[in-house]
Amino acid sequence: MAFEGLSERLQSAISQVGTGGTITEADLKQMMREIRLALLEADVNFQVVKTFVKSVNERALGSDVLTSLSPAQQVLKIVDEELTALMGGEREPLNFSSKPPTVIMMAGLQGAGKTTTVGKLAKYINENGKKKPLLVAADVYRPAAIDQLETIGRQLGFEVYSRGTEVNPVDIAYDALTQARMQGNEVVIIDTAGRLHINEELMNELREIKLAVDPDEILLTVDAMTGQDAVNVAQSFNEALDITGVVITKLDGDTRGGAALSIRSITNKPIKFTGQGEQLDALEPFYPERMSSRILG
């Protein structure tokens, strides 16, 4: 289960301050040391850990924790609030255009779960009131990616706009939008190419697609299992594309959770959804508060 190690360690660190009586500054210091280690071991970015621990410590010292009858509960509340803030505070829903179609451009490295997430999002959006999403196969370098999207489209009963591998992906994206306007699709979701690694060619192509379709959302899919790499990937894509949000996939695995805890504060872009499995209904809107509660048990 995701966050298992982190959950256990945070809970144990906090419970050590005791449920009755008061605690000393030394107890608090010891607890902060353990929280810091727990976060570092969960692969949370070093700078993020530093800032987080500093905030919790200042609040704990400044509050009535030291004199409180239940210091553990006080500390738990502070850690909970700070974890929630670290992951963005409020839920950030999708932006829908007031002039349909809403255009969602997906980006991400190969294997991150981008194509699967296109299907999941289409299903989610459709179930939440927007009709007839059009899925666009603009990953022209891997015929398998096009087949995969077509299979997903068939499974969900949504149309897939595809022109094979010989047409420029920028033209595909642009023409798909024209078709969506004519047909009255309310949402267009564009599956773009991924690569094994970030390179200029990929970023240039994505920039061109962005220019051509002026998306309402540019959602980056990152694989939670890749830890700090996911954070670096998010930073690079954000610098190149000014993304609007992140989907963290594979949070159903036994990831240590560092990506989920670091991405928001490193990129300043919201996590909008998490992927919780391979099935097309395994997508969850991201609520920082709920995620924090889940971690703290």
Beta bridge partners of residue 105, listed in sequence order = 190, 218
Strands (E), the chain: 102-107, 133-138, 160-161, 187-192, 217-223, 245-249, 271-275, 283-285
Question: 21, 111, 157, 164: which one contacts ligand GDP (CB under 6 A)?
Answer: 111
Question: 44, 105, 112, 233: which one contacts ligand GDP (CB under 6 A)?
Answer: 112
Tell which positions 132-161 bind ligand GDP, by CB under 6 A: 148
DSSP state of 94: P
Nearest to 6 by CA among 257, 180, 211: 257
Query: Taking CB under 6 A as the rule, which mask of x and - marks residues 179-198 in contact with ligand GDP?
Result: ---------------x----
Q: Tell me how many residues contact ligand GDP (CB under 6 A).
A: 19
- Is 28:66 a contact under the CB 8 Å cutoff? yes
- Burial of residue 237 (number of CB atoms within 10 Å: 0-12, 13-18, 19+): buried
Question: 34, 252, 284, 289: which one contacts ligand GDP (CB under 6 A)?
Answer: 252
Assess 113 for contact with ligand GDP (CB under 6 A).
yes
Closer of 60 and 152 to ligand GDP (Cβ): 152
Question: 249, 262, 265, 267: which one contacts ligand GDP (CB under 6 A)?
Answer: 249
- Is 266:231 a contact under the CB 8 Å cutoff? yes
Task: List residues forming the annotated binding site for GTP.
Answer: 108-115, 191-195, 249-252
Q: Site residues (CB under 6 A) for ligand GDP?
A: 108, 110-116, 148, 194, 249-250, 252-253, 275-278, 282
